[in-house]
């Protein structure tokens, strides 16, 4: 297509006008960028507080708690700084609020509580470093009261710093249901005259939340005590002089209401002429079987509601499941005498000897608690150097070293030879009666003619012994008066030599005379 010059100019002017109009309509405004404002500096991160306790849930058995209820030990309280940076330190005040336990338990203690109101405020706990908890103190819960059985409470712990940051922790405290327990018993008495009578207060409380229809009440008496009255109709009395003594078992009919206390008047106990240090133990359990209420010929022993707490009501029942016990100490004494031995023989001989302990009276007694846990026995033998045990009696426990030791490697066993120390039993913890003797026969080999066996034989019975000197004895060797095989060989040899010399002289004398003729 061919355009004329005039038409070409006209098209150019039209395009130019359109372009100018477009530029005017879309005029661009220049953009300028201002410099960005500086961001404010981030504040240091605040320390994060955290509370830590050793036990978040705690159990306090009541006074009547069963042996299956294990009390929670005291729990420690700690403050921790869990802030985001390692250099941070926390300053705070820690509050421990255990006031909810005030009417539920005895012996509760919290840290930072000088007035004992169970609200402890530990101020100015400063400089708690991140990752290093600070111990605040100990929460002690004590013993639950009977009224708290079956209930629960909370101990509230709070930490707060100056900026208002907080941490909280709660400790749940439970008071589980208890059981029926003896809580009234005779106090320990001293200076009682043999042949007299002592009273035996008794009683119990139902620490459970259910009524109990029948209970079985048991009293165990050591051999020096016996019931002063005839057996009750609902009680049995079994005597075992070689064992714990006399056991009285009574079946008492209820019902016995929850959280209520009851007393019974059993009567007195007769103190034997040989009594020294005696014990009385009581126990009571709920009984579901048919009661033996036709055992004796006397009246029926009954339990009556307790109207007031007298001096015989116990404040401390001991650990859950423990029997309640008391002691009766008389004016009697016991003299235990030990017998040693002198071994007659020459070196190399085997000699048998009997070691013993005898109760010379006037009292009869079992080992005391301290004696029962000591390293001694009714007869204890320290084998002197120069002697070897080649045969030991079965009730004697041998050890490799002469001194008391609890190292299991030191034990040889019962009746084993070769020991350097022997502890010989035989009473099983029962009373050793006046005039009774325990004897133990050993066989020794004499390795040296002279030994130091001073006080080699001892006894555990020593408490209040009026003659302590005979609580030990010696084990010695008498080789001078012994005529062992070696001695007889020496004597026989000398006799043969003398006989030979005499015969030689008798033969020589005629020969000498003939030669000199």
Q: pLDDT tens digits for 168-204? A: 999 999 888 878 889 999 999 999 999 999 999 999 9
- Tell me: do 221 and 135 sit in the same domain: no
Q: In terms of Cα–Cα distance, which of 422, 477, 424 is closest to 452? A: 477
Tell me the longest C-alpha to C-alpha distance in the chain.
208
- Tell me: do 186 and 321 sit in the same domain: yes
- Taking CA 460 as the corner, what is the angle to CA 457 and CA 464, rounded to the nearest 5 degrees? 120
455, pLDDT greater than 60 = yes
- Tell me: do 299 and 360 sit in the same domain: no
The pTM assigned to this predicted structure is 0.63
Is residue 421 situated within a structural domain? Answer: yes
Q: What is the CATH number of the domain that holds 265?
A: 2.60.40.10
- Tell me: do 351 and 462 sit in the same domain: yes
496, pLDDT greater than 80 = no
Is residue 202 situated within a structural domain? Answer: yes
Q: What's the confidence (pLDDT) of residue 505?
A: 42
Q: Which residues contact 127 (CB under 8 A, 6 or more apart)?
A: 89, 90, 91
Chosen domain end from 308, 330, 352 = 330
- Taking CA 116 as the corner, what is the angle to CA 115 and CA 118, rounded to the nearest 5 degrees? 125
Total domains in the chain come to 3
Q: What's the confidence (pLDDT) of residue 185?
A: 92
CA distance 406 to 456: 20
Tell me how crowded residue 20 is: count the other CB atoms within 10 A of its CB.
Answer: 10
Is residue 513 situated within a structural domain? Answer: no
Q: What's the confidence (pLDDT) of residue 179?
A: 83
Tell me how crowded residue 15 is: count the other CB atoms within 10 A of its CB.
Answer: 9
Q: How confident is the model at residue 40 (pLDDT cuts 50, 70, 90)?
A: low
Q: pLDDT tens digits for 248-297? A: 999 999 999 998 999 999 999 999 999 998 999 999 999 987 766 666 67
Tell me how crowded residue 314 is: count the other CB atoms within 10 A of its CB.
Answer: 18
Is residue 368 situated within a structural domain? Answer: yes
- Tell me: do 450 and 351 sit in the same domain: yes
- Tell me: do 303 and 374 sit in the same domain: no
Chosen domain end from 276, 298, 330 = 330
Q: What is the CATH number of the domain that holds 83?
A: 2.60.40.1930
Is residue 36 situated within a structural domain? Answer: no
Is residue 26 situated within a structural domain? Answer: no
Q: How confident is the model at residue 425 (pLDDT cuts 50, 70, 90)?
A: confident
- Tell me: do 87 and 167 sit in the same domain: yes
Q: Which domain holds residue 147?
A: 49-174
- Tell me: do 100 and 67 sit in the same domain: yes
- Tell me: do 323 and 190 sit in the same domain: yes
- Tell me: do 133 and 217 sit in the same domain: no
Q: Which residues contact 12 (CB under 8 A, 6 or more apart)?
A: none
CA distance 97 to 106: 16
Number of residues assigned to the chain? 517
- Tell me: do 278 and 324 sit in the same domain: yes
CA distance 1 to 3: 7
Mean pLDDT computed over every residue of the chain: 81
Q: How confident is the model at residue 499 (pLDDT cuts 50, 70, 90)?
A: very low
Mean pLDDT, to the nearest integer, of 511-516?
A: 38
β-strands 166-174, 57-59: how paired? parallel
Chosen domain end from 330, 354, 373 = 330
- Tell me: do 284 and 185 sit in the same domain: yes
Task: Name the residue with higher pLDDT: 56 or 30.
Answer: 56
Tell me how crowded residue 185 is: count the other CB atoms within 10 A of its CB.
Answer: 23
Is residue 344 situated within a structural domain? Answer: yes
Q: What's the confidence (pLDDT) of residue 13?
A: 52
Q: In terms of Cα–Cα distance, which of 53, 47, 43 is closest to 160? A: 47
Is residue 511 situated within a structural domain? Answer: no
């Amino acid at each position: 297509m061919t355009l004329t010059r005039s038409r070409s100019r006209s098209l150019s002017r039209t395009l130019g006008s359109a372009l100018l109009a477009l530029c005017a309509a879309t005029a661009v405004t220049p953009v300028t960028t201002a410099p960005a404002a500086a961001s404010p500096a981030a504040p240091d991160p605040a320390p994060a507080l955290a509370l830590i306790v050793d036990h978040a849930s705690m159990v306090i058995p009541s006074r009547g708690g069963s042996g299956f209820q294990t009390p929670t030990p005291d729990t420690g309280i700690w403050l921790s700084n869990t802030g985001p940076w390692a250099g941070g330190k926390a300053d705070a005040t820690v509050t421990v609020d255990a006031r909810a336990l005030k009417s539920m338990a005895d012996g509760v203690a919290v840290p930072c509580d000088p007035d004992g109101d169970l609200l402890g405020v530990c101020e100015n706990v400063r400089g708690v470093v991140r990752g290093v908890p600070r111990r605040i103190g100990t929460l002690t819960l004590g013993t639950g009261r009977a009224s708290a059985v079956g209930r629960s409470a909370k101990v509230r712990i709070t930490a707060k710093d100056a900026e208002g940051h907080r941490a909280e922790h709660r400790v749940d405290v439970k008071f589980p249901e208890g059981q029926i327990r003896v809580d009234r018993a005779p106090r320990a008495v001293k200076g009682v005259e043999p042949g007299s009578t002592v009273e035996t207060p008794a009683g119990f409380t139902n620490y459970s939340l259910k009524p109990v229809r029948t209970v079985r009440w048991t009293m165990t008496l050591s051999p020096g005590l016996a019931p002063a009255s005839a057996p009750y109709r609902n009680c049995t009395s079994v005597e075992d002089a070689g064992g714990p003594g006399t056991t009285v078992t009574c079946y008492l009919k209820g019902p016995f209401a929850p959280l209520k206390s009851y007393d019974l008047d059993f009567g007195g106990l007769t103190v034997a002429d040989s009594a020294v240090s005696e014990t009385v133990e009581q126990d009571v359990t709920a009984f579901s079987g048919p009661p033996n209420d036709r055992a004796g010929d006397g009246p029926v022993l009954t339990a009556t509601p307790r109207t007031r707490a007298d001096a015989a009501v116990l404040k401390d029942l001991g650990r859950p499941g423990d029997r309640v016990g008391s002691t009766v100490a008389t004016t009697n004494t016991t003299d235990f005498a030990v017998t040693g031995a002198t071994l007659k023989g020459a070196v190399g001989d085997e000699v048998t000897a009997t070691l013993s302990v005898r109760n010379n009276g006037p009292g009869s007694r079992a080992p005391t608690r301290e004696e029962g846990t000591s390293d001694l026995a009714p007869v204890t033998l320290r084998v002197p150097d120069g002697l070897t045990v080649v045969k030991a009696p079965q009730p004697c426990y041998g050890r490799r070293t002469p001194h008391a030791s609890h190292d299991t490697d030191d034990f040889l066993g019962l009746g084993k030879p070769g020991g350097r120390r022997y502890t010989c039993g035989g009473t099983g913890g029962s009373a050793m009666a006046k005039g009774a003797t325990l004897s133990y026969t050993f066989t020794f080999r004499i390795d040296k003619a002279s030994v130091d066996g001073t006080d080699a034989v001892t006894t555990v019975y020593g408490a209040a012994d009026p003659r302590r000197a005979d609580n030990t004895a010696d084990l010695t060797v008498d080789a001078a008066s012994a005529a062992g095989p070696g001695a007889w060989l020496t004597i026989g040899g000398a006799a043969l030599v003398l006989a030979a010399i005499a015969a030689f002289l008798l033969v020589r004398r005629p020969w000498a005379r003939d030669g000199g003729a």
